[in-house]
Amino acid sequence: MNFYKGSLRFRIFLAMILLVLGASILIAVVTIFQYSEETQDYHRERLNRKETAIRENIDYVIKNTTYPVETDKIPLIFKDKIYEIKDIHQLEINLFDLEGNILISSKASFIKESTRNNISENALNELKNSTEKHFIEKYKENDFEYQSSFSYITDSQFKPIAILNLPYLENDEFLNKELKEYLVRLTVAYLFMLIIAIILAYFLSKNITRSLNSISEKITETRLDKRNEKILTDVSSQEISALVDAYNGMIDELENSAAQLATNEREAAWREMAKQVAHEIKNPLTPMRLTVQSFERKFDPTDPEIHTKMKEYSNSLIQQIDTMSSIASAFSTYAQMPAQQDEMLDVVKITKLALDIFTEDFIYFFSENGDVIAKFDRTQLIRVITNLIKNSIQAIHEFQPENPRVEVHVYSENKDAIIKVVDNGLGVAEENSDKIFEPKFTTKSSGMGLGLAMVKKIVEAYEGDITFNSIEGKGTTFKVRFPMK
């Protein structure tokens, strides 16, 4: 799994664990390196101390010998003394001539068993070329590591007469034991710290991400069409508090923008409505003006048919006035419907009551249930039914089918009340199907195009919906669904 694609909580948890593990490994590596350095320093200093002490003993023996201080007399001078010096300093001693050949050794079987009877050419050259006339060589023998020290032995005139070799065994058993004990203690301590780190990492990551999850949920629930709640948190984290403040500020701006947008939309809708009202009112005003002008030109008090003409003029004006009245009523009804008076209604009974106002003999009512009880406003439910029936009747009158038929079905389905109106009228053209519920849209020669828009508005106010299915030239089916409460 990609670390950067994981959750923030997991990354915080894992980072803290890795930090503790990394720190423990680093300290262990540094400790081992430090022990190694200290071990080397210890052996080097110990060898130097022993070499200094041994050289003092050798110098004392040379000063007090009765033999001539010469290279070939070295075995005689140190015949017995070399073993005394070895016992005192607990270190093997080898004496070589200036050419690197063995003269005498504290190890009795040295000549027979040792693989280092003579000084190697490399060691001899390093000793000769050394400014301090001192050289230390490291080697392994029988799986043991040695430091072999080489230095010159001089007479009283500081003339080299032999080469002193001290093979020093690097016994690290004690130091290694100390190192193992220290690493064990360090491991136990860091295991304890790791357990504490796991617990702290869990709760810390949970505490940090809890606030972020809360903010994420709020942002996900943010909608333009509803009032959004601000985030109230007591988190002391500066970063999270800044994020919460930014979100709350965005909510304020969003509400202001939504209110401004709604205001602009309402103003635009009313401007459009005013244009439509003006247009619809102008339509009857024109024939009214022509009627009055015609009456003025042709008025003759002596005309024997004056009363008949007056009646025709009056009927024409009244007809146009009624048209204007119906326009005003339609727009008034759509713009401001009465307040809802909700009550538990029998939808079957109310539908029958609404159908009683229609005199057409091709309207048929069907109910699959004895009663369908739902909460609705009685007046608005009747308005929904009558608008749908009127719409079907007008479609039939425009199409003039041989056997006109409007069917009204009322039934319940999945805890919803269903009203279905089916007709065999003109139908809806496919290109008009997306506009059928829009205000002002109509395909009829008369009407404002507000009936279906009003029905949709009423039904949606009760958390319902209205759908339709239509085939042009064969008829239309409208289906209203709203919950039974």
Average pLDDT over the chain, rounded to whole? Answer: 79
- C-alpha to C-alpha distances, 340 to 209, 353, 354, 375, 418, nearest whole angstrom: 46, 19, 18, 11, 20
Residue 246: the pLDDT is 77
Give the range with max mean pLDDT: 22-31, 90-99, 239-248, 417-426.
Answer: 417-426
426 vs 474: CA distance, rounded Å = 7
CB within 8 A of 374, min separation 6: which ones?
344, 345, 347, 417, 482, 483, 484, 485
Other CB atoms within 10 Å distance of the CB of residue 13: 22
Average pLDDT (210-222) is 70
57 vs 84: CA distance, rounded Å = 10
Strand-pair partners of 87 = none
Query: What is the phi/psi pair of residue 153, to 5°?
Result: -105, 130
Residue 27: the pLDDT is 83
- C-alpha to C-alpha distances, 392 to 119, 381, 409, nearest whole angstrom: 124, 17, 14
Residue 307: the pLDDT is 76
Average pLDDT (282-294) is 67
Residue with tokens 């193992």: 180
pLDDT band of residue 448 (cuts 50, 70, 90) is very low
120-131: pLDDT as tens digits: 888 888 888 888
Higher pLDDT, residue 172 or 206 = 206
Q: Indicate the residue type of 433.
A: S
Residue 113: the pLDDT is 41
Give the range with max mean pLDDT: 110-114, 133-137, 155-159, 405-409.
Answer: 405-409
Residue intervals in the chain for CATH 3.30.565.10:
338-483
Q: Which of 196-200, 248-252, 401-405, 460-464 has the lowest mean pLDDT?
A: 248-252
Higher pLDDT, residue 316 or 151 = 151
And the tokens for 398?
A: 């425009």
358-386: pLDDT as tens digits: 888 999 999 987 789 999 998 889 889 98
Residue 10: the pLDDT is 73
Residue 169: the pLDDT is 74
What percentage of residues in the chain have a pLDDT greater than 90? 15
CB 453, CB 434: distance < 8 Å: no
Residue 236: the pLDDT is 54
74 vs 156: CA distance, rounded Å = 14
Closest CA relative to residue 351, chosen from 361, 365, 341: 365
SS in 3 state form for the chain?
Answer: CCHHHCCHHHHHHHHHHHHHHHHHHHHHHHHHHHHHHHHHHHHHHHHHHHHHHHHHHHHHHHHCCCCCCCHHHHHHHCCCHHHHHHHHHCCCCEEECCCCEEEEECCCCHHHHCCCCECCHHHHHHHHHCCCCEEEEEEEECCEEEEEEEEEEECCCCCEEEEEEEEEECCCHHHHHHHHHHHHHHHHHHHHHHHHHHHHHHHHHHHHHHHHHHHHHHHHHCCCCCCCCCCCCCCCCHHHHHHHHHHHHHHHHHHHHHHHHHHHHHHHHHHHHHHHHHHHHHHHHHHHHHHHHHHHHHCCCCCCCHHHHHHHHHHHHHHHHHHHHHHHHHHHHHHCCCCCCEEEEEHHHHHHHHHCCCCCCCEEEEECCCCCEEEEEHHHHHHHHHHHHHHHHHHHHHHCCCCCCEEEEEEEECCEEEEEEEECCCCCCHHHHHHCCCCCCCCCCCCCCCHHHHHHHHHHHCCCEEEEEEECCCEEEEEEEEECC
Q: Is the pLDDT of residue 71 over 80?
A: yes
83 vs 80: CA distance, rounded Å = 6
Average pLDDT (393-408) is 90
Other CB atoms within 10 Å distance of the CB of residue 14: 14
Average pLDDT (217-242) is 66
Average pLDDT (187-202) is 82
Average pLDDT (394-401) is 88
Q: Is the pLDDT of residue 133 over 70?
A: yes
Residue 111: the pLDDT is 44
Residue 447: the pLDDT is 46
Please give the radius of gyration of the chain, using alpha carbons only, rounded to the nearest integer: 57
Residue intervals in the chain for CATH 3.30.450.20:
3-176
Q: Is the pLDDT of residue 18 over 90?
A: no
Average pLDDT (30-56) is 83
CB 424, CB 405: distance < 8 Å: yes
Residue 269: the pLDDT is 61
Residue 453: the pLDDT is 83
300-313: pLDDT as tens digits: 777 777 778 777 77
Q: Is the pLDDT of residue 390 over 60?
A: yes
Average pLDDT (289-304) is 72
Average pLDDT (324-331) is 63
Assigned CATH for 3-176: 3.30.450.20
Please report how many Cα atoms fall inside a 13 Å half-sphere around the Cα of residue 56, on the Cβ side.
Answer: 8
Residue 420: the pLDDT is 96
Residue 283: the pLDDT is 58
Average pLDDT (149-176) is 81
Residue with tokens 């419907």: 337
And the tokens for 388?
A: 């749908």
Residue 445: the pLDDT is 46
Return the CATH class of domain 338-483.
Answer: alpha beta
Cα of first residue to Cα of last residue in the chain, in angstroms, is 51
In b/e form, how buried is each residue of 342-355, taking b as 16+ CB within 10 angstroms?
A: eeebbbbebbeebb
Q: Is the pLDDT of residue 4 over 60?
A: no
Closest CA relative to residue 426, chosen from 364, 463, 473, 482: 473
